[in-house]
Structure 1
């Protein structure tokens, strides 16, 4: 119980930032769009670039984003026919899209910073490329019912500044380039800024959540079940197999994988649902509830994992 309370104490400050974001919008009329642009176009590319440049590239490190992207595809296309039998509208599409990914950026990175060594944090950040690519490619297809052509989807992915930062960092890493010492402490500040602003952005989104017609018990229950039960179960099964039979990954990477699996629903899915006008109210409520549940869920499952 003491370990659980210790873990809970570590994660509570992150949720204080959510409150700060809520009050900044409600009382000071701060712009959510401005913070989102700073995160997407400035901080995220810099952090991904540094993480990609800093990690020691080997087969197991490359394996992680490929593995997570594959799991996202399996969950998305595996749940879609099931959800289509439950929902008679396009709720099935947006639900399959969202349960196949998670908030590995705005919430996952802060959690990784709290519970992982710095070198493992960089590996975690390197791995979230899987979420970014899924949300902006296959995720769009599923949500829009193929409204985007293949060419349009590829253009969307190729315009992502995070992708450009990843490619540049990978090229420099493989060429032997190292970050100058004078910038090492600055990269730590970037991670801290991303963690705080990312959590504040979640709170800023709460101010304008539309709850009319958005509280769907079945939709929310299925979303939470897949995200908080199926995802970690799949990862734990893989960890068990690798630890006892395959022996491909370094054991230090197991916690990286587990944290990747236990984060709540991704806030970016609300943006996609809003853009495509596919049940954004349902998505907003589901993301909010999953984020609140994760306050206790994350330290609890980390406690069980440590046991």
Structure 2
């Protein structure tokens, strides 16, 4: 119970406050939510991802240990999302949102604070979470972006969309500068850092503004709850089985299992808004996942301490 309270107070509550601010501001001023989404996609997200890759020191040994797990884990979730969509007979746009909601994880502004809280006395747990953040960034703007774009476009248009996305260039540029140990001049790094720091607040306010436009009846959409089952229940179950199968133990096992239980990535909603693909459904899924995870994540944290602590 203590873990549930800590996670809710320190992680969920600040996020809900920013969402509420977005709702109130949207009701009062009626923002152009699409324009806010463009600011996120073409400015703030690339800056945040670039700074993440540019500054993170990735331990190669940890990366190799985690690599097999994340590949098997992601592949299983992709298959799960595909089966969910086929079973429910969803259209292409709903299928894209459903797949992303199960596969894409909020490893950044949710996962990192939780990991810092749980592993405050063991830096290895936080280091693994940073590796997972980088991996999720790559997955979001490859697999996740492809899902959304392919639901409305095909072939050559999809390739063009990938090449035009600033996030793609931010990913490789940040990685190259990191590996080459190239130091940016202060006058360049500082404004990028400011944009990166603004990302979380603007993203959550934008999501709140988006939620303010949603009709109450959409709260009863079955896809919201089915996606939560996939992300919050099936995902950690699959992760635990893989951890046991691969005989991973200790802090690495604990960190991977906790990371598998985090809610749907907020970026899945941001991208859905940008490409106008079931954006209301995507926003509702993120909101419900985030609130529900305050209980499910706490349970996984507690069980992981018993099994691998």
* Counterpart mapping for 1:222-237 below 5 A: 222-237=226-241
1:6 matches 2:10: no
Give the structure-1-normalised TM-score: 0.75
Separation in 2, partners of 1:40, 1:88: 26
Report if the CA contact (8 A) 2:46-2:166 is conserved: yes
Separation in 2, partners of 1:138, 1:64: 25
Give the drift of 1:167: 0.7
- Secondary structure at the aligned position of 1:268 is classed as helix
Give the drift of 1:132: 2.1
Give the drift of 1:191: 5.2
- Secondary structure at the aligned position of 1:259 is classed as helix
Report if the CA contact (8 A) 1:52-1:166 is conserved: yes
Matching residue of 1:216:
221
Separation in 1, partners of 2:189, 2:238: 36
Separation in 1, partners of 2:190, 2:252: 24
Report if the CA contact (8 A) 1:112-1:259 is conserved: yes
Report if the CA contact (8 A) 2:263-2:286 is conserved: no
Separation in 2, partners of 1:4, 1:266: 21
Separation in 2, partners of 1:132, 1:72: 14
Separation in 2, partners of 1:110, 1:264: 12
Matching residue of 1:109:
108
Match for 2:100 among 95, 98, 120? 98
Give the drift of 1:16: 0.8
Give the drift of 1:226: 0.8
Give the drift of 1:299: 3.8
Unaligned runs of 5+ in 2: 117-122
Give the drift of 1:10: 0.5
Matching residue of 2:133:
125
* Counterpart mapping for 1:136-285 below 5 A: 136-141=145-150, 143-144=151-152, 147-149=153-155, 151-178=156-183, 192-211=197-216, 215-217=220-222, 219-242=223-246, 244=247, 251=251, 255=255, 258-259=258-259, 261-264=261-264, 266=266, 268-269=268-269, 272=272, 275=275, 282-285=281-284
Unaligned runs of 5+ in 1: none
Separation in 1, partners of 2:204, 2:285: 17
Separation in 1, partners of 2:238, 2:206: 29
CA RMSD of aligned residues (A): 3.8
In the superposition, relative to structure 1, how do residues 258 and 182 fare at CA in structure 2: closer, same or farther (>3 Å)? farther
Aligned residues: 294
Separation in 1, partners of 2:239, 2:75: 15
Give the drift of 1:99: 3.7
Separation in 2, partners of 1:252, 1:152: 41
Give the structure-2-normalised TM-score: 0.75
Report if the CA contact (8 A) 2:243-2:253 is conserved: no
Per-residue deviation, residues 183-211 of structure 1 (Å, max 9, x unmatched) = 98988765542222222222111111145
Report if the CA contact (8 A) 2:44-2:199 is conserved: yes
Matching residue of 1:297:
296
In the superposition, relative to structure 1, how do residues 210 and 178 fare at CA in structure 2: closer, same or farther (>3 Å)? same
Report if the CA contact (8 A) 1:19-1:203 is conserved: yes
